[in-house]
Structure 1
Amino acid sequence: MRRPGAGPYPRSGFDNYLNIDIDRRRAMNGMTLPAWLRGANTKALAAPIIIIMMLAMMVLPLPAMALDMFFSFNIALSVIILLTSLYTIKPLDFMAFPAVLLVSTMLRLSLNVASTRVVLTEGHTGPDAAGKVVEAFGHFLIGGNYTVGIVVFVILTIINFTVVTKGAGRIAEVGARFALDAMPGKQMAIDADLNAGLIAEAEARRRRTEVAQEAEFYGAMDGASKYVRGDAVAGIMVTLINVVGGLVVGMVQHDMAFDAAIKNYTLLAIGDGLVAQLPSLIISTAAGVIVSRVASEQDIGSQLVNQLFAKPQVLYITAGILGGMGIIPGMPHVPFLFLAGLMGGGAYLIKKRADQAATAAPVEAPPALPAPENEEATWQDIVPVDTLGLEVGYRLIPLVDKSQGGELLKRIKGIRKKFAQEVGFLSPPVHIRDNLELKPSGYRIALKGVEIGAGEAHSGQFLAINPGMVTGTLPGAITSDPAFGLPATWIDASLRDEAQAMGYTVVDAGTVVATHLNHLITLHAAELLGRGELQQLIDHLNKESPKLMEDLVPKLLPLSTLQKVLQNLLAEGIHIRDMRTIVETLAENASHFQDAGDLTALVRIALGRAIVQQLFPNGGELTVMALDNRLERLLMQAMQTSGPDGAGIEPGLADTLVMQTAEAVQRQEQMGVTPVLLVPGQLRPVLSRFLRRSLPQLKLLSHAEIPDSKTIKVTALVGGQG
């Protein structure tokens, strides 16, 4: 398949000819570049080059001009990192931040080592010995007063170390713990959306990767914050070493007076410390912004403006407080009154703009409906029963109303598409209507007018489902998952993150209804395959293989028998996607067998590989249960006397069979194994109908349905001793 926008000819033709010709000419002129210097690989060289340069700065002496360039680059890099963090929507958008934090810290330490070397060797020559940048920070910013410089340096270090870095590290630590605790719940929520047909496999894979990356990011940030704390400690120690070492070098080696030496070297040391501490404070602030923000669709600047200055009432009250403080005698009147007027004017403009937006689009009254006339009853008044119906209470109407942002219609379309892809035919459409007789938050799912499921879903709330390994309880209405019966609690939206951190699977009201509907559609797939759906399936097959169905229906087999065979397969949870194998098996045996049960058994044997794959998706050894030899002989004798439906099985034998099978199924489920009972082919249809009522989770296989390549491991005997 050609890429979008590609021409009718592949790139391996004329374009490659031009490229080869250009490469040949470059080689002839000596201009051919190595492969590792061409294309996107040049970006991969950036990190090794930066690391090598930082190590070189620690070892090799640098001139003052080079130090000015590197100090300026360090300040620019810290500003870039801060602005990038401010304009980041989600923390994962800046996933390289922990690595950037390490590299920037190492760059500052390398510059400290390089500047220390210059200060100690050339500091006696004057305040510009370590470059103009260090001189500017040590002389102009603090007025040439080394006492002021020491105080400013200590204050910046305390702010960076005690406030910003410690707070960011704590937030990263808590975020990492909550991200790890919430991973199981988030993974289960993704699986629930995937099973309900709300998302595709590629989207589920992307979300799982994002969840894992989020936990790794916060874990890395927890460790990376230690770099900045260590950098602050190292900055203090390097500055003290520079002062003491400078005094020793100046007074002993260069015969400087104590006053001149301490002033000269202290100014250089303080300037060096400040020029390194300022970028460290900026990057620490960026780290705090990254880990402390809440995920949103806006950057941090938009969030601050929209949330701090969006309510005129807050600005009015603030203006009143500032105005009151401005008229108190002895207070600075101009700044307080100026800010009070600014806040009051801003509040007035915001309220005026909101009022204009509210009155710009007046709500139109709905047109009056014409009065109904008395008409005679007609055949049009007979409404056919919907195959699938969903009735909702009035509080759930927003879930199925597109104009109110309801997503349930879209999810139902996804359910039908997923059902068609997995089962093999298109289910009937789901007709949705409101029902005032239901509870306000209730819903009802009907099959051919008969209720097959019902439940409650609270719009605006979330259902926290307990998968069996949660770490706490949640406040809310205790209930159970309507689809699978798991214990659950309806919670407010504000408790969603807390519930996920405790291990709950958290889904919204629309997902609850969609999952329940998907479960019931799959469970009643056999009843959904009517004549209309079967005819549509046949028409679809005729488009791909016209002769395939013509030789079977109606020449060899009536349509009703084909429908019954497919319904038998669906009733036991077997998909009918492989219609080619089913039709070919029926065509081969229809001349000898016309009974739907016999034909179903033959089709199951032909689909044996697919059935086993469906029950044991991991392949390898098949862990099954089996019948004891004595019980198997008793059942075979009962079959001969009671007929094919097994209605005449002795009651005591039937009770024993059900009881012992239930115990074996329970042991299999506790082992985490699919409960599958292996029986002879003659017993499989009878036992399947008999045991399906009390043990719907049990699957029955005959010996002939298992491929020869599979290994069987019997873990339990039904009817055995002990």
Structure 2
Amino acid sequence: MNSLRLPAWLNGMGAKGSALAAPVLIILLLAMMILPLPAFVLDLFFSFNIALSVIILLTALYTVRPLDFMAFPAILLVSTMLRLALNVASTRIVLTEGHTGGAAAGKVIEAFGHFLIGGNYTVGIVVFVILTIINFTVVTKGAGRIAEVGARFALDAMPGKQMAIDADLNAGMITEPEARKRRTEVAQEAEFYGAMDGASKYVKGDAVAGIMVTLINVIGGLIVGVVQHDMSVGDAAKTYTLLAIGDGLVAQIPSLIISIAAGMVVSRVANDQDIGGQMMGQLFAKPEVLYITGGIIAGMGLIPGMPNLVFLLLGAVLGGSGYLLAKRARAAPQREAEAAAEEAAGSAGRSGTTEAEEATWQDIMPVDTLGLEVGYRLIPLVDKAQGGELLKRIKGIRKKFAQEVGFLAPPVHIRDNLELKPSAYRITLKGVEVGSGEAINGQFLAINPGMASGTLPGQATTDPAFGLPAVWIDAGLRDEAQNLGYTVVDAGTVVATHLNHLITMHASELLGRMEVQALLDHLGKDTPKLVEDLVPKVVSLATLQKVLQNLLLEGVHIRDMRTIIETLSEHSNGTQDPGDLTALVRIALGRAIVQQLFPGTNELSVMTLDNRLERLLMQALGAGGDGTGIEPGLADTIAQQAHNAAQQQEAMGHTPVLLVPGPLRVLLSRFLRRALPQLKVLSHSEIPETKTIRVTSLVGAG
């Protein structure tokens, strides 16, 4: 059977109807203030106003995050205008038809004026004033204050949250669209609390307007009843006061409901539960609390003169609820232990007891290219059965690395290591440790990027990836740390960022012969002839691997394999030296290299060599062939001045890049790489002609 589908024109009408809903509603509100309404229509609008307030309250209760109800400030304004329009419309009909009886202004106002307050206008005035005071002084004022403080904190925390998003993006835990979405949510959160702060002023004004409208209705009713309809003062006071109070209560009760909804939205702490789930899960979670409360209530029930039955019954209910909660809490660990024992017994049964066997070649295990070893407290981060969020992040790291660098890094083999500290981890490359650190599961690392203000209580440390000062803090201090300018990340992000940094740093060592062959096979699917003509006819697989490793060693991405292969095919007849071929490939990739170092700009701020130093180095290169003829004193001077110039470049916000003649590029790059890994050395021939060069400092000028 074919599924039922709406015609396209009907779907279009539905979309247009949603767009027209707001303008039509505003026009109706204005019409209600100007045009007289019959009593039945007024009853209909009053009933709709009450239903709307209940819908808003229930929506607020079932909202998980404040941003899930982002339209609430606008809805608050519209509902306030609806109540004021109804006040104007009801005032008109009360003053014109009130002398005919209580039903003149409709059944709703009559019901609120007679049944809810018993027809006693004195009681009605007291109830109305109490409701208005509660709404204005308690609920609305508190919600407005919370929204004001929340808006201020949200704005103060924006830089820290943005940096945390950038850290997750750089670590490969999220994609660029997800990062844009999270940045939008951060901005929307600040806008939401600011809008709620402003919208709460409408509710305050509505409460004041309700008192004034009710007072005006009473005075105006007395004048109209006595002067125009020849009613006695007592009859006019009773009739018009009841109608005015009924009108005021009809408006104030929905206003109070919506004010409570506003307080619920801005005062809750966001998590994965709605407000009802939070309250029930936290207020009635501890049996000790119920025991003590039940005992106190039962004790009050034993006092003579108290409503003994009610207090004793309530005390028994609280005590029984505490007993059931305690029983359930005691049974939970036993059930978990039984399940663990059954699983362990099954594993033992499968393995059995076997006699010691002779050693074989199968006992020799290959060394993992990439390894991650964790202490036992970090096992939940890498255990798939316990969520294992670090596993997902490592997948994201490998995917991001492949997209940016140009080849697929080997998989990361993860294992626990009881020899490590409980919260420690170490990262190995071909069985050798290349990095280690500590990540406290359940806490957050607050990293000072250099502009944080204030200190935080916790365990002082350094960021394992970049060596920045940091401190491990409890989860409750996360917002405070972000407000102070710290970048706050969890334990899994710390490990993932460190792993991503080391993978990028050691990319050349990760590109083995198998990875190069897999890269050629992947490229050969689209351009098979290009690959066939290169390997092994023009260059060997080993030479290609060495050229690619040389590029990766200096941070050059190899995504543009087509240009690399075409350059090698063009120049391989003249030389087979990997160093010479690398220099030629770098020239061909010059535009990509410059864009990687200077994204989005045509002016390149670089350092360069002093003319005298340049001549000395050219002479040393000619004498030693590979630069070994550089005097030790001159080498120290070059390293020191390059270090100072690089710091000056970074202080000005520029990437430290040294521009040198082509023959000196390899020499200086190899010489400065160990002392200044962040410094990039380019040759003049690698700069595209469309770029402008601005020299910021000279190395060797002092």
Report TM bin, short chain: over 0.9
1:309 aligned residue: 284
1:621 alignment counterpart: 603
Query: What letter is aligned with 2:183?
Result: R
Once structures 1 and 2 are overlaid, which stretch shifts more, 235-244 or 511-520?
235-244
The 1:311/1:249 distance shift into structure 2, 3 A limit, reads: same
1:343-362 matches, cutoff 5 A: 343-354=318-329, 362=338
Q: 1:413 aligns with which of 392, 395, 403?
A: 395
| Native 8 Å contact 2:621 2:628 kept in 1 | no
8 Å contact kept, 2:602–2:690: no
Distance 1:510 1:328, change over 3 A: same
Aligned to 2:297: 322
Choose which of 243, 254, 267 in structure 2 pairs with 1:268.
Answer: 243
Matches within 5 A, 1:156-555: 156-354=131-329, 362-363=338-339, 364=341, 366-367=344-345, 368=348, 373-555=355-537
In the TM superposition, residue 218 of structure 1 has moved relative to its aligned partner by 1.0
Tell me which moved more, 70-79 or 373-382. 373-382
Structure 1 runs not aligned, ≥5 long: 1-5, 8-14, 24-32
- Residue 642 of structure 2 is matched in structure 1 by 661
Q: CA-to-partner distance for each residue in 1:18-38, whole Å, 9 max, x for gaps? A: 97xxx8xxxxxxxxx9x9x72
* Aligned-partner Cα distance in 1 for 2:427–2:277: 44
Tell me which residue corresponds to 1:10: none
Alpha carbons 2:159, 2:485 under 8 Å: kept: yes
**Amino acid aligned to 2:215:** L
Q: What amino acid does structure 2 have at the position aligned with 1:332?
A: P
TM-score (norm 2): 0.94
Q: For 1:447 and 1:304, locate their aligned partners in 2 and report how far apart those are by CA, in whole Å.
A: 49
Distance 2:380 2:283 in 1: 31
Distance apart, 1:374 and its partner CA = 4.8
The 1-side partners of 2:159 and 2:657 are apart by: 28
In the other structure, the counterpart of 2:651 is 670
Q: Distance in 1 between matches of 2:57 and 2:386?
A: 40
Letter paired with 1:131: G
Query: Judging changes above 3 Å, is the alpha-carbon distance between structure 1 residues 477 and 350 closer, same or farther for their aligned structure 2 residues?
Result: closer
Aligned to 1:681: 662
Offset from partner CA, 1:337-396 (integer Å, 9 cap, x none): 222233233334444555566555623263457667455544444333322222222222
1:584 to 541, 546, 566: 566
Q: Determine the C-alpha separation between the residues in 1 that align with 2:185 and 2:333.
A: 39
Distance in structure 2 (CA, Å) of the matches to 1:305 and 1:297 = 14
> Which secondary structure state, in structure 2, belongs to the residue aligned with residue 463 of structure 1?
strand
Task: Provide the residue aligned with 2:620 in structure 1.
Answer: 638
Moved more, 98-107 or 496-505: 496-505
The C-alpha deviation readout for 1:555-582, integer Å capped at 9, x for no partner, is 2222222111111100110111111110
1:142 CA drift (Å): 1.2
Q: Distance in 2 between matches of 1:529 and 1:498?
A: 43
| Residue type of the alignment partner of 1:72 | S
Task: Give the number of equivalent residue pairs.
Answer: 693
Q: Deviations over 1:89-142 (max 9, x none)?
A: 111111100000000011111111222222223333332332221122122211
Distance, in Å, in 2 between the alignment partners of 1:198 and 1:670 is: 29
**Which deviates more, 264-273 or 510-519?**
264-273
Equivalent in the alignment of 1:649: 630
**CA deviation vs aligned residue, 1:686-722 (integer Å, no higher than 9, x gap):** 111111122111112222112222222222233346x
State yes or no: 1:117 paired with 2:92: yes
Comparing 387-396 and 286-295, the one that deviates more? 387-396
Q: Shift in Å at residue 308 of structure 1?
A: 2.5
Partner of 1:29: none
**1:27 aligned partner:** none
Task: Kindly report the root-mean-square deviation, in angstroms, between the aligned alpha carbons of the 2 structures.
Answer: 2.3
Q: Could you tell me how far apart the structure 1 residues matched to 2:50 and 2:352 are?
A: 74
Q: Tell whether 2:577 aligns with 1:595.
A: yes
- Cα displacement (A) at 1:147: 1.2
Q: What is the TM-score when the length of structure 1 is the normalising length?
A: 0.91
Aligned residue for 2:525, secondary structure, equals helix
Cα distance between partner residues in 1 of 2:186 and 2:633: 54
Greater mean alpha carbon deviation, residues 77-86 or residues 241-250: 241-250
Q: How does 1:128-167 map to 2 (within 5 A)?
A: 128-167=103-142
Q: Deviations over 1:405-441 (max 9, x none)?
A: 3222232222222211211112222222233332222
3-state SS of 2:470 partner = strand
How far did residue 452 of structure 1 move?
1.3
- Stretches of structure 2 that go unaligned for 5 or more consecutive residues are none
Partners of 1:273 and 1:348 lie apart in 2 by: 47
**Shift of residue 281 of structure 1?**
0.2
Distance in structure 1 (CA, Å) of the matches to 2:289 and 2:460: 39
1:37-89: CA deviation from partner (whole Å, max 9, x where unpaired)? 72411101111011111111222222222221111111111111111111111
| Separation in 1, partners of 2:618, 2:334 | 82
Task: Output the amino acid matched with 1:486.
Answer: L
Secondary structure of the structure 1 residue equivalent to 2:613: helix
The separation in 2 between residues aligned to 1:434 and 1:83, in whole angstroms, is: 48
Q: Supply the distance in 2 between the matched residues of 1:176 and 1:310 (Cα, whole angstroms).
A: 32
Task: Tell me: CA distance 1:471–1:112, structure 2 relative to 1, closer, same or farther (3 Å).
Answer: farther
Measure how far apart 1:622 and its partner are: 2.0
Q: Which amino acid aligns with 1:695?
A: L
CA distance in 1, matches of 2:602, 2:236: 81
Q: How far, CA to CA, are the matches of 2:462 and 2:277 in structure 1? A: 41
Larger mean CA deviation between 692-701 and 56-65 belongs to: 56-65
Among candidates 551, 562, 567, match of residue 544 of structure 2 = 562
Of 656, 659, 678, 1:697 maps to 678
SS of residue paired to 1:575: coil
Report % sequence identity.
77
Looking at structure 1, the residues matched to 293 and 128 of structure 2 have their Cα atoms a distance apart, in angstroms, of 35
SS at match of 2:105: coil
Please list the CA deviations of residues 434-489 of structure 1 after superposition, one character each: whole Å capped at 9, or x if unmatched: 33332222111122222211111112211111122223221110001000111111
Aligned to 2:73: 98
Structure 1 range deviating more: 328-337 or 376-385: 376-385
> What CA distance in whole angstroms lies between the structure 2 residues aligned with 1:117 and 1:715?
78
Structure 1 residue 490 displacement after superposition:
0.6
Q: How far, CA to CA, are the matches of 1:292 and 1:585 in structure 2?
A: 64
